[in-house]
Amino acid sequence: MHPRKRQRKNASTMKLVGKLLARFRKEAGLTQTELSSRA
């Protein structure tokens, strides 16, 4: 039997970080491309 793919323990944390980043990015008026070029 093949082991099932397990989700990472912090998957929900990563989703939360992604949502927060998207919110701050939108409030700053930046697109994803602009944000990545600044990083």
Q: Along the 39 residues of the chain, how does pLDDT read in single tens digits?
A: 667 777 667 789 899 999 999 999 999 999 989 988 988
Number of residues assigned to the chain: 39
C-beta separation of 26 from 18 below 8 A: no
Residue 2: its pLDDT value, please? 65
Question: What is this structure's pTM?
Answer: 0.57
Residue 1: its pLDDT value, please? 60
Helical spans, DSSP H, in the chain: 11-27, 32-38
Structure tokens at 7: 């989700």
The SS3 call for residue 18 is helix
